Each structure stands twice: as C-alpha cells, then as structure tokens.
Amino acid sequence: MDNQTPVVKNIDENIRNFEQMFEGCADIKKRKFALGKEANVDCYIAFIEVTVSNMMLSESILGSMIRRMCELSKGDIYRYIDENGLGISDTAEFKTIEEVADMMLTGDAIVFIDGCEKAFKIAGKGYPGLGVIQSQSEQVTRGSRESFTESVKANTALIRKRIRNPELKVKEIKAGRRSKTLNALVYLDGIARPEVLAEVEKRLEEIDIDGVLDSGTLEQLMESSWKSPFPQFQSTERPDKAAMAVLEGRIVLLTDNTPVSIILPVNYNSFFQTTDDYYNRWEVVSLERLIRYVASLLAMLLPAMYLAVTNFHTQLLPTELVLAFAAAREGVPFPAVVEVLLMEMSFELLREAGVRIPGSLGGTIGIVGGLIVGQAAVEANLVSPIVVIVVALTALSSFAIPNEEFGAAYRIMKFIFILAAAFLGYYGIVLMGLLLILHLAGLKSFGVPYLTPFVWVDGDSREDLKDSFIRQPLFRLFRRPLFARRGQRIRMKRKEE
C-alpha cells in the first residue's frame, strides 16, 4: 500500500487523481451523472471502450443498480451501498486509486460515488477475444493467433489487453478532409522518445488529402525518403507484435477500417525479427535468424552471381561444373541474361496471379504453375535446367524474409543486380553492393539510422547486437533497443536489484 492514493469521500478529488493517471488515453471513456430523487449524489463511471457494452446503463447489472439508486434518497443510497454493494454478482470494492486502475485495465467498469471511501468494479464484457480474427499473412509457430480487426477502437483494446498499464497512451488524430478517418497513436509515456512522437504528429497534421482508406496511404505520405525501395515503417497485423514494439519504446499507428498497423521508427534488423523469436529457445531462434539473413542475400544476389560466374568468371568454378553448365545450355537460343530475366518475370507473374486468385486456389496456382512453366520451358529449350533451379531458390529465399514490404525491396534490387552482373560481372555486383550500403547508411527512420545496430551510434548501440544475427538468451536482453528514450532503456532487472 506504500505510495498509493486512497479513495476518499470527495468524488472530485478521486476523479482528479484518476484522470491524472489516465491523461492522454482517448480509449478510456468517463461519465459523470447524478443519483437520487433530488439528483444530489454524484456518480462517476470509467471504462475502456470496447470492453464495456454501450448498452450497459440500460441492460447490465450496473444499469440495474443505478436505476435503483436513482429512486432512493441520499441516505438510502448510502445504506443501499453498505448493505447490497457486494451482493451483486461479480462485483468488488477497492480502496486505492491504483487498485481501481488495475481492475479497469482488466476490462471491467469502475464506479465512484460521492461520499463513499471505496470504488466499485462491475464486470464488463472484457477485451475482444480470439474470435476477433486470425492472422493470415503473419503465421507463427508459437504465440497468439489473434490479429487486428478493421476497427481502430477494437485494435487499441487488443494492445491494452496485453499492456495493462496507465502509462500506455492512446492519442487520436483524424486524417482526410472528407473521410475524417480516425487514427490512433499508441505509445508508452516516458519510454517513447518525445521528439519522435512530435514528429509523427506533425507529419500527420500536414497531410491534406480527400480520404485515407488504409494505413498504406499514411505510410507513403509520411515517409521522408520516398525514392528508396526499402520501407521506413514496419507493418503488422498482429497485436502481440505491436505490443512488443510499444514496450521497446516505439510508436504504433492504427488506422480505422484496416487491420494493418504501422510501427515506427524501424531499422534494418527489426524486419528480420518475428514475435515467436522471443517465445522459443535462443539456439533455435539464432539459427532461424541466420537463415533469414542468408536468404535475403540469396534473394537479391543469386541470379546475378550465376550470370557473373557463367559469363565472365568461369575460372572460379571447377572445370566439371563449368562443362555441366555448358551442356545444360546446349540448344538454348537466348543469352544467359535473357534466360534469367524470362524465368524471373514468369515467377513474378505467377506470384502476382496467386495473390489475386481468391481462396486456397491461389497458393496452388503458384506452386503447380511454377513447376509446369519451368518444366515446359526446359523441354522447349527456352531455358536451361540450372536457370530454373537458380530462380526457384531465389523465390524460396524471398519467402523466408518475414516482412512482405521489406522482401519486395529485395525483389526490386534483384533485377538491378542482374543487369549489373550482365554487363560487368562480379565488378558490377560489388559496385552495386557498395552503392546499396551507402544508400542504407544514409537512410533514417524518424531520426534512427537504418543500419543500427550494425553502425556505431553511441555506447549503448553495442547492446542491440545481442538481438541481431544471433539472439542471445532473454536474461541478457535487459536493455531496450535504441528506439527508447535515453535513461529508460533498462527493461529487465533481477529481483535482488
């Protein structure tokens, strides 16, 4: 009970202490009204939107209690509370503001009554459960199966369901002159960087457009380096991923009418992390991380390396392998670069067709279509079998990248590297690689260098390397990433501390 604020008889003081704790939380709804025949007893109700029914005052247990007290005199109201306050099913009393706040954050309604030195909890319908929706685009082997819905109110509740702390703030901002689309910025007060929050609000307020129908519109209008194929925002449909980002000191932008949220700021490393990375053992996760990083390089460089070694640098391969490549290309009328581009465009076409075809048929088209087209092209002597293998491995590698938007950047860079290798061989690959590194080194996401933690930012940036290529055991990840404000990077302490 140390350092806790008691509930007092003066309801105005209780309201002031309670609202000060939840200042800046737009998803917390509060109502004040009068009870009694003479309407001389003030009452105050607070609850999290979505967790308590809008019809609670007319149909619920709380509504029945309030209707009864509206018919009583002031003295009878206090007598009724003393005698029957705990007689209602699933009702409880609390004597400190902190207890009241904790109970409301579990999804219940809380009630203050003037003249009472205690507050009441009335059970609500709770947070949205698994029945909301299941994530389809971000599958995990372990962890929550919930996904965001198309209601921004439900989405904020799904995050608050996971972070039941009054420091979790929800700031609502409307965008779109005619659509008036509601957006919510979700962050931890005192953990998120205030300069980042101010910059996000500024960019949102500067957007002047007829309508915002998806978070992707805001993403394009808010990014600073619009020429870069690499995203400066991280998108997710998973509330546990968003909650994890909030705990790291990042900001989550939710947009009404879309299940896709935006996380900012980001860096290169964050796109290779998934939620189940922190639910599994570090040895398994480290192996999976290394596979993702290698897969990203293969998705971008494998076709270019094949062209370079077959057209310019055959001395790098064993003689038997060079002869095998030459025999496989016998009868093919096109140059190797045309072969590669033809198969790459065919696989991109199949990928796009698979996305657009509804239902489970889309995935079948992608797999069966790739096999049929590849086999037919080889039999028709349009391409060599080795090119089909190279393109198939490249496609598989691109699917291993967890974030689709980030993977799309590698697919674009793949064609640039193919052209560079076709003209200059490995020298072209090295040249484009240097230009790419320079480009990424100059990218920033709301002030955070894109290549952190692989570049030196300050003394603390080395700590983030513990959660990069190799994810060290959780007990060693006691610091938040550089996304959090200075002085607030400790997120885990041992009990003796």
Residues 106 and 164 in one domain: no
Q: In this structure, is residue 5 part of a structural domain?
A: no
Residues 75 and 18 in one domain: yes
Residues 99 and 151 in one domain: no
349 phi/psi in degrees, rounded to 5: -65, -45
| pLDDT band with cut points at 50, 70 and 90 for residue 437 | very high
Q: Give, as one character, the DSSP assignment of residue 10.
A: -
Whole-number mean pLDDT of the chain?
84
pLDDT tens digits, 279-317: 999 999 999 999 999 999 999 999 999 999 888 888 888
- Tell me what the mean pLDDT of segment 330-338 comes to: 83
> 64, 95, 122 — which closes off a domain?
122
- Spatial distance between the Cα atoms of 442 and 451, rounded to a whole number of angstroms: 9
Q: Which domain holds residue 63?
A: 11-122
pLDDT of 4 strictly over 70: yes
Percent of the chain with pLDDT over 70: 87
Residues 327 and 348 in one domain: yes
Chain Cα centroid distance, residue 224: 20
pLDDT tens digits, 26-38: 888 888 888 887 8
Residues 93 and 150 in one domain: no
pLDDT of 438 strictly over 70: yes
Q: In this structure, is residue 94 part of a structural domain?
A: yes
Q: Work out how many domains the chain is built from and give that number.
A: 3
Residues 74 and 156 in one domain: no
Residues 327 and 420 in one domain: yes
Q: In this structure, is residue 481 part of a structural domain?
A: no
pLDDT tens digits, 108-147: 888 888 888 888 887 766 666 545 566 667 777 787 888 8
Q: In this structure, is residue 319 part of a structural domain?
A: yes
Residue 58 is predicted with a pLDDT of 52
Annotate 287-319 with b (16+ C-beta within 10 A) or e (fewer): ebbeebbebbebbbbbbbbbbbbbebeeeeeee
Residue 291 is predicted with a pLDDT of 95
- Spatial distance between the Cα atoms of 299 and 412, rounded to a whole number of angstroms: 10
- Spatial distance between the Cα atoms of 332 and 117, rounded to a whole number of angstroms: 88
| pLDDT band with cut points at 50, 70 and 90 for residue 430 | very high
pLDDT of 458 strictly over 90: no
Residue 68 Cα distances to 47, 65, 162, angstroms? 21, 5, 35
- Tell me what the mean pLDDT of segment 237-241 comes to: 92
Residue 283 Cα distances to 287, 288, 295, angstroms? 6, 9, 18
Residue 294 is predicted with a pLDDT of 95
Residue 1 is predicted with a pLDDT of 46
Residue 130 is predicted with a pLDDT of 46
pLDDT tens digits, 356-375: 776 656 555 666 676 677 77
Residues 262 and 286 in one domain: no
Q: In this structure, is residue 89 part of a structural domain?
A: yes
Residues 377 and 240 in one domain: no
Residues 139 and 78 in one domain: no
- Tell me what the mean pLDDT of segment 445-473 comes to: 82
Residue 360 is predicted with a pLDDT of 59
130 and 145 in contact (C-beta within 8 Å)?
A: yes
Nearest one of 379, 303, 291, 318 to 348, comparing CA atoms: 303
Between helices 385-399 and 336-356, what is the axis angle to 10°? Answer: 40
Residue 55 is predicted with a pLDDT of 45
- Tell me what the mean pLDDT of segment 63-68 comes to: 69
